[in-house]
Amino acid sequence: MRHFFEELKDFPKKGDWVLLILATVVAGFGCVVIASATNAPKFEGNLRYILIQILAILLGICMYALVSSIDLEILSEHRMAMVAFNTVLLLMLIPFGTDNNTGNRSWLDFPLLPINIQPAEICKITYIIIMASVMSSHQNRISGIPSIAHMVLHLGLLVGLNMVLSRDAGVSLIFVFIFIGMAFAGGVSLWWFALAIGAIAAAIPVVWPLLGTYQRERILVLIDPTFDEQGIGARFHSKINLQSLTGGGLTGQGLFNGNRTQAGNLFAQHTDYIFSSIGEELGFLGCLLVMIMEIAIIARCIWVGTRCPDYMRRLVCFGAASALMFQVMINTGMCIGVMPVIGLTLPLISYGGSSVVTIYAMLGLVSGAYARPQSLSHERYIQPYR
């Protein structure tokens, strides 16, 4: 504990301020576009949304500093405790779960809290550490069957629990993409990836009938142009949001002036589809600015990872980059109609307190790797010479 407080005291000197500034600039921009997206009459005032988002940013900055000051070696030593924590957190969806008007029972609604909490968002952070710890323990034979089995076991446990308890395929896919990114960066043989692709292809005929009707419709919208051609069913929201995204032209219609945004005609215009709102009001240049800012954060995570000589710390950085990359890719892909609608927010831009706080905490892991790129475990076990 003394070591933690010493590191927290040194955070202003050792933490990654470039990453923190990038994240805060993006989050600040998010507050501006959220204010515009929630200005529509159906939201009955946007002050509540802005205040919650600002409070989430401030709490996120605190979490960034706290997580950055924790030695990853200590967290790695308590891997099973984190597995138990994830399990208990997801099981709390049984008594306290709510769908938050999304159809997925993904949020915890505690009576004494003013906001709902999405436990899977928190599990992203612990899962990155668990994966890095598992892969580090198998570092010398990372492509061996025991190594892959150990990694897949943790992924299957988390994804299985989340799917059974929340039915949220979107967040579950984030765990899969983190797994893929970290496995690739950790040196797992490409033959395993080829085998996985083959297994997925073979499983499609078996899995397809097991999907819900709405899940099949969301996929058919992408691959079958004749499905719901009129756009009055499964394609309706995607059609309207794509029209708004492209309706802003080069420079947009202006903040607080988007035709559909200000009328409140867009689906989830302040959360999942905020990119469409940005396209309508700020145009192509506004969307380009968002992509540049998001890519800058991802690139910073990768850069910190490449400079870490320690295997586990490097994997943590690539895990954070993978999570962000997947969310940006899926969210923007949903808006332009090339990805299925699976309900993922645009990192640090979309409205959502738990999402913002957990992303800051996840970036805090990267900052910790930046501050301590090599293992310091010997300092805790070796008595210094007196």
Q: Which residue has the higher pLDDT, 126 or 377?
A: 126
The alpha-helical segments, DSSP class H, found in the chain are 2-9, 11-14, 17-37, 47-68, 72-77, 79-91, 93-96, 119-137, 145-166, 169-185, 190-207, 213-223, 236-247, 259-263, 274-306, 311-336, 353-371, 378-381
Please give the torsion angle defined by the CA atoms of residues 22, 27, 33 and 39, in that order, rounded to the nearest 10 degrees: -160
How high is the pLDDT of residue 284?
94
Domain residue ranges of the chain, discontinuous segments joined by +: 2-380
- Give the CA radius of gyration of the chain: 21
Q: Note if the pTM is more than 0.75.
A: yes
Pairing of strands 97-98, 107-108: antiparallel
Q: Which of 266, 268, 251, 275 is nearest to 329 (CA)?
A: 275
pLDDT band at 385 (very low <50, low <70, confident <90, very high): very low
Give residue-wise pLDDT tens across range 300-329: 999 999 999 999 999 999 999 999 999 999
Give residue-wise pLDDT tens across range 88-133: 999 998 888 887 666 677 888 887 776 778 888 899 999 999 999 9
Token readout for 28 is: 């600040």
Q: How far apart are CA 239 and CA 141, in angstroms?
A: 49
Q: State the sign of the Cα–Cα–Cα–Cα dihedral 257, 260, 265, 269.
A: negative
Q: How far apart are CA 138 and CA 151, in angstroms?
A: 10
Q: How far apart are CA 187 and CA 183, in angstroms?
A: 6
How high is the pLDDT of residue 350?
94
Q: Give the mean model confidence (pLDDT) for residues 360-383.
A: 78
CB 147 within 8 A of CB 115: no
Q: Give the mean model confidence (pLDDT) for residues 369-375.
A: 87
Number of residues that this document lists for the chain: 386
